[in-house]
Amino acid sequence: MCGYHRPWVKNELGRKAAEASKGASTGPDRPRIRQQEQAMTRAVGIDLGTTYSAVAAVQAGEPVIVPSPEGGRLVPSIVAVGRTGERLIGEMAKRQRMLNPEDTIYSVKRLMGCRFTDQSVQTDSKRLPYRLTEGANGDVRVMMGGRLYSPPEISAMILRKLKRAADDYLGEEVTDAVVTVPAYFNDSQRQATRDAGTIAGLNVLRICSEPTAAALAYGMHKEQGTTIAVYDLGGGTFDISILEAGGGTFHVKSSSGDTHLGGDDFDERIVDWLCKQFAEETGIDLRQYVTAMQRVRDAAEKAKHELSSLEETEINLPYVVTDEAGAKHLVITLTRGQFESMILDLIKQTLRCCRQALADARLTAGDISEVLLVGGSSRIPRVQEEVQEFFGREPRKGIDPDEAIALGAAIQAGMLSRELDDVVLSDVTPLTLGIRTVGGIATPIIPRSTPIPVSKTRTFSTAADMQRSIEVLVYQGERELFDENTMLGCFTLTGIPPAPAGEVKIDVTFNIDADGILNVTARDKSTGNEKELTISASSGLSREEVEQAARDLEVRDSASLLLHRAEKILQGLNDGAGELKQRIEGDIASLRSALQGQDLLSITSAVQQLSDSLQPAAVAACHQSAPARSEGNQPTG
């Protein structure tokens, strides 16, 4: 959740800062640059998305998107192990996934903080080309390159790439970041995101809700008495948040959403339709062919994008499969109307979340002053039409919906690192918190959309005669039965005096502080005896596993950078350095082989060996590239 921090003293815009920002893109009214020395370390904002991710930083008082190494503004949230064992991230991973679908991991955000037995995970496992399995502690693991990884480890590889891009762009190492998550993420999903940041070598200053970040990017905190609805439809998740803004403050009134609803699901509707059409025409089930299905998924995503600007598009996949009768081609036209009919129920599902958020905020659609559309899937014309009709007003535009969240995260990072004036943020609990009572019932203590910080107490009684202890099981979720929600923790209050059932009264207090930390206390009213538990959300990884994953990623990332440098130096060596070239090629092969194993010491040793070989090679390459000069062509002083 976007936490709360003391407001810093605001300063007037300094003359130099004003000159630096003069003539820059004005856009929405954003926080001003502070007239003070720059913070000791720079902080960036990161939107860790389902399909694409982005990193942004504050420059001269304005948030800007940091370009990727490939020159784009977004990085595909895709990780793969190539045929040679090399780890590929972003655009490179996306380019090869058609030929290597089983070792190409995407949409991993939908698996963050989830249990393998979750219904959503079981549904995803049937459509994903890569393998999902259960970890030792019940969490999800993905198979890539013959090795199992946790979702936070995969996400960390994406974060690491974004960190490297920010390092290069800013000319200094970045260690601090604000990372965004869907407002409807539960505690385990938020902790999984934090763990991913730690593994990537980042100090996560704040986990910020995506809708709040988007509202910051639009400068809504400068409005007076504005009630905002942020409709965030991304690649794999949906959020709706109702906020009140004005006078440098943000107050989140309510949030709702679905962490398994987004552009991926729209793509899957097209995929289902294509498979059905092809089966009716040929009798062949495309889902039995992994490579063919990846081509179909890529074509479905492309068609979805094209139908945002075209009334119809042709899907043409020659040689999609081959059987005894020969090659089969998939050629079909999809109209915008057909696509809209496929996804209309999903759009209506987002509107049900909007109704819930309005009800929780005790507002109507007519009370909303501004509607912001965020997330790439909000570009779909039918989505825009339905949202406009629901709220009765045209959504505000002006910022790329794919970039708004990263820009807003950069603004908050700038506030936390004292580069920008502060904005006071107050959030709500995204999901109900409570305990298990007799019969396995989930009894709420703090309802969803309750402003925090907050403290609430409910009194319970013993359920049996002569009961000497009471077990307190804490949950998060909206289901009536405890077992259908997410269990956060448990503890036992002992030493209860023997008495008939119902006579001993126990006060159970839930206290959430400004940083979203939950403390649960059970107190025997007759004796004063009490027991307290601080809820520490788990991503499924232990502290030791997080630390080990961080070391692993650091070593492998350094090795990959060295391999890239070695390839460049090799290209610069001429035939006269044959022996040196042969030695370097051997060291490169040794390092590539070590990277395919799990022994970090072997990788480190191979890195050192290659690094030693590159030192004379770099000198030789430098001498070869220097221009030759004859004695008669000396420079004049």
Calpha distance 554→157 (Å, rounded): 10
Identify which of 79, 121, 120, 119 has the alpha carbon closest to the alpha carbon of residue 100: 79
**Catalytic (active site) residue 281:** no
CB-CB contact of 528 with 514 (8 Å) = no
Alpha helices in 210-320 (DSSP H): 210-217, 263-282, 290-306
Q: Going by C-beta distance under 8 Å and a sequence separation of 6 or more, which residues neighbour residue 77? A: 48, 49, 50, 51, 52, 53, 106, 107, 108, 109, 155, 158, 235
Report the sign of the C-alpha dihedral through residues 462, 450, 5, 151, in that order: positive
Amino acid at 471: E
Burial class from Cβ neighbours inside 10 Å (0-12, 13-18, 19+) for residue 180 reads buried
Choose the catalytic residue: 139, 187, 195, 210. 210
Alpha helices in 513-575 (DSSP H): 543-572
Residue pointed to by tokens 């934090």: 194
Residue pointed to by tokens 């860790």: 48
H or E, element range at 318 = strand 312-323
Distances (CA, A) of 71 to 94, 131, 272, 376: 15, 31, 34, 19
Choose the catalytic residue: 94, 109, 161, 304. 109
Distances (CA, A) of 478 to 433, 434, 435: 9, 10, 12
3-state secondary structure of 562: helix
CB-CB contact of 173 with 167 (8 Å) = yes
What beta strand segments (E) does 368-485 contain?
370-374, 424-426, 433-437, 441-446, 454-461, 470-476
Residue pointed to by tokens 């000319």: 171
Q: Going by C-beta distance under 8 Å and a sequence separation of 6 or more, which residues neighbour residue 313? A: 303, 306, 307, 333, 334
Give phi and psi for 98, each to the nearest 5.
-65, -35
**Catalytic (active site) residue 47:** yes
Burial class from Cβ neighbours inside 10 Å (0-12, 13-18, 19+) for residue 425 reads buried
CB-CB contact of 197 with 179 (8 Å) = yes
- State both tokens at 456: 């609430």
3-state secondary structure of 561: helix
Identify which of 341, 156, 344, 184 has the alpha carbon closest to the alpha carbon of residue 260: 184
Q: In which order are the strands placed within the sheet that holds 518-524?
A: 454-461, 505-512, 518-524, 530-535
**Catalytic (active site) residue 232:** yes
3-state secondary structure of 231: strand
Would strands 176-181 and 203-209 be described as parallel, antiparallel, or unpaired? Answer: parallel
H and E: helices and strands count for the chain? 14, 27
**Catalytic (active site) residue 210:** yes
Choose the catalytic residue: 102, 187, 232, 244. 232
Calpha distance 519→457 (Å, rounded): 12
Catalytic residue positions? Answer: 47, 109, 210, 232
